[in-house]
Structure 1
Amino acid sequence: MSMLSAIPYVGPIADFATSRFGLPLVVAGGIVLFYEGVPIGPVRDIPWVGPMVAGLVDGRVDREREAALVGFVSQARLDAAEAKNAEIERQLAAGRKAAALYAEMLAEAQAKNRAEDEETARRNAEYEAQIAAQGRSYRLNQSDRDFVRQP
């Protein structure tokens, strides 16, 4: 027997902890407490006390879980930023494609309008020549035409 056996409340605990059955239980309990921590239950929800007590009694598993959650949050933010960037790039590419398409359509419409204007001017010149050949005159000048076209 050791000196601890003489102490009233500590003695029986020390004797059991050093016995043939108690020592493996104490070692197993120590391992479980190291990895799992002391279960504090709803004490974690108390605003100031919970985090302080949890920091003291959390086991290795809890610490690893918290570290992994921080990593997951960072990874989730990174994934969200990459997805947002990809969506913006997709929208920009679609906008560039639409702008190029509309520029092409505008160029085609302007070319068509120029061709129509040239055809109209040619037909007007032919008509004026035809009227002049018949000995008639076309007495309206440009200012008269502009006056008639006014709203």
Structure 2
Amino acid sequence: MRPGGLRRIPEPRRRICPLGARYYAKGGYFASLGAEAIDRMLTAIQSAPTPGSEVYVLQLGGAVCDVAEDATAYTGRAAQYYWIVQPIWDDAKDDTACLAWGRKTAAALTALSMEGNYVNEQADSGGDLAMKAYGAQKYRRLQTLKARFDPENLFRLNQNITPGI
């Protein structure tokens, strides 16, 4: 698919959504930005359910790559790009279509992505999402810290790390 085939690129909304706006976000890391990933993004945006829906790519690299992958909880130090799928809508009647589009697009891009992701861009919750975001080794280290500093799991309304031993 050629970019010239797009009728228009939606005007992106600002990161601070207005009160009442509805959105879903899912992201992942690319080692490189290949033709298949670009085609999948272009195909997805052409079928976006609302004008505010977006797929965007952030360039990474640089100094973040100077730190060893296992030195901190942050994952993706070897990644060169980070993608985010974000349908944004205002009306509850669009919930089903927007969530389905976001999840379908994210699944298509995840299939081409590196392991791990930025935990704050995971709108779905539960299961092992946090463990998948950090990776098993980092997750176990974070569980040890959580057991030490938050054994009662007070700070749990996020992509929760359950306290470990």
TM-score bracket, normalised by the shorter chain, equals under 0.3
Q: Which has the higher helix share?
A: 1
TM-score, scaled relative to structure 1 = 0.21
Q: Which has the higher strand share?
A: 2
TM-score, scaled relative to structure 2 = 0.20
Higher relative contact order (CA 8 A, sep 6+): 2
Give 1 or 2 for the bigger CA radius of gyration.
1
